[in-house]
Each structure stands twice: as structure tokens, then as C-alpha cells.
Copies of this chain bind each other. A is one copy, B any other.
């Protein structure tokens, strides 16, 4: 059971509620929640750009597709290399 943070505390500052390192926990949660806030803000910004694109007459769905394809392209190159490797191995080379 992952109770190290619960069970091993000793000092007065870290050992707070129910034996858990409450301060530490709070810190972690705060940091995560702040970063998630920022993430959400970025998502919103991106949405705005798509809206702008739409009102400029671009087809948003096609735009998303372009972005997706550009993102996948490097992965696909790698996939091709892997495939080549598979063939090599299948042929015992």
C-alpha cells in the first residue's frame, strides 16, 4: 500500500492531518491545478483561433485535419522505418 507519505511522518511540520504529509500534498495539488488552469487557457486560445479562421472563411474541420496530418507526419516516417526493420528481421537480415 502506498502509504509512505501517510505512515512514516515524524516532524511536527510535515505530519498534520490523519498522519498524512498535508503540506506536501497541498503543494502538489496546487501545482497541478495551476498548470491545468494554464492548459485550459491555452485550449481556449486555440479555440479562438479556430473561430477566427472560420470567420475568415476557412473550413475548420479541414484545418484540424491539416494540423493533425502535420503532427502525424514525423511519426509516420518513423513507422516506415520500423516497418523496414520488421521486413529485415522477417527475412533474417
Inter-subunit contact A66/B3 (CB<8 Å):
yes
Residues of B contacting A35 with CB < 8 Å?
42, 45-46, 49
List 20 additional contacts besides A19-B91, A20-B89; criterion CB under 8 Å: A3-B87, A4-B57, A6-B57, A6-B86, A8-B57, A20-B90, A22-B90, A25-B91, A26-B90, A32-B46, A35-B42, A35-B45, A62-B83, A62-B90, A65-B83, A66-B86, A66-B91, A69-B88, A69-B93, A70-B93
Q: List 21 A-B contacts (CB under 8 A).
A: A1-B79, A3-B59, A3-B90, A3-B92, A4-B57, A6-B90, A18-B89, A18-B92, A20-B90, A21-B56, A21-B90, A25-B87, A25-B90, A26-B90, A28-B49, A32-B50, A39-B43, A62-B90, A66-B84, A69-B93, A70-B93
